[in-house]
Amino acid sequence: MEKYFYKLHGLGNDMIVIDDREGAIAPYDMPRVARKLCNRRTGIGGDCLLVAKDSDIADIAMLVYNSDGTQAEMCGNGIRCFSRVVYESGLIPYDGFTVDTLSGVKKPQLLLMDGEVKAVRVDMGVPDFLTGDIPMDVDCEEFIRQPITAAGREFIATAVNTGIPQLVVFVDNVRTLDIEKYGPALEHHEFFPEKTNVSFVEIENRRSVVMRAWERGCGATLCCGTGATAVAAACIKSGLTERIVSVMVPLGALRIEWDGENNIYMSGPAEKVFEGKVII
């Protein structure tokens, strides 16, 4: 079977988008397709596969499959890239719409210049700090700036759900941290029955932080949108930053806005790389 695909990235977090609204790919076969297409040697290469589907509750649905074939509830950089494809391919001909995800309906707003998508601002919903909702297996209602030990080292961290489970880990020097050692240890920590994304963060000042991402089912990535949203939410809730935060990653920054109570907003680029047909 041939499928048309689009390859994009959000600040280096790269992904493949395909349209399967007709249901040509069986649900049980999606993990295999994701592993094949995301393979960087024998496939297109990507951190995840995004699949467009019809929805009864939104304008369109987005399914997310990690590079290892596991399904994720949501992808922050992914929804920006997905939204650009949906708009520019004509699936939805207007610049604001709703996207059905496994973590709820999201609302991207395209920022256009001469008809071209320059950035996407996404309503990411309300950050959820309740440990039962993350989910997290601990004896406290919220896990905010608490100690957690992994791979022989104790960290101070905050847990939050921003569409998927997130652990925000505060460090003094994020650039020299061995995330290949500590990332998987925290991802699989006993506190997280469904595993977790891990975002290591260093606070530069009250308006800017630096982040490195370890994503559940993907490993180290150059950026994580839901992770950056979690980082800002964790910093704002603890009073460590202002309510508009630049989350710096190797290829740029995401702008996160949160008043501390209501919905949180993420803004950033969605860059097209190439498109074509692939046999799946």
What are the tens digits of pLDDT across the range 12-50? 999 999 999 999 999 999 999 999 999 999 999 999 999
**Which residue has tokens 């004509």?**
90
- Cα(212)–Cα(226) distance, integer angstroms: 12
Please count the other Cβ atoms lying within 10 Å of the Cβ belonging to residue 53.
Answer: 14
Identify the segments of the chain with pLDDT beneath 70. none
Q: Which CATH class is domain 2-124+269-279?
A: alpha beta
Name the active-site residue from 48, 75, 218, 223: 75
Helix (H, G, I), strand (E, B) or coil at 31: helix
* CATH code 3.10.310.10 region(s) in the chain: 2-124+269-279, 146-262
Q: Are 275 and 232 within 8 A, CB to CB?
A: no
**E-assigned strands of the chain?**
2-10, 13-19, 48-53, 60-66, 71-72, 99-101, 104-113, 116-123, 146-150, 153-161, 165-170, 197-205, 208-215, 219-221, 244-249, 252-257, 265-268, 271-279
Whether 38 is a known active-site residue: answer no
| pLDDT value, residue 179 | 97
**Which residue has tokens 């963060």?**
201
Just give the CATH number of 146-262. 3.10.310.10
Whether 224 is a known active-site residue: answer yes
- Measured between alpha carbons, how far apart are the two ends of the chain, in Å? 6
Output phi, psi for 34, to 5 deg.
-60, -45
CA nearest to 46, candidates 81, 88, 90: 81
| pLDDT value, residue 115 | 83
Name the active-site residue from 48, 81, 223, 224: 224
Q: What is the model's pTM?
A: 0.94
Q: What region, left, alpha or beta, does residue 193 occupy, with left being phi > 0 and alpha being psi -120 to 50 degrees? A: alpha
- Cα(17)–Cα(84) distance, integer angstroms: 10
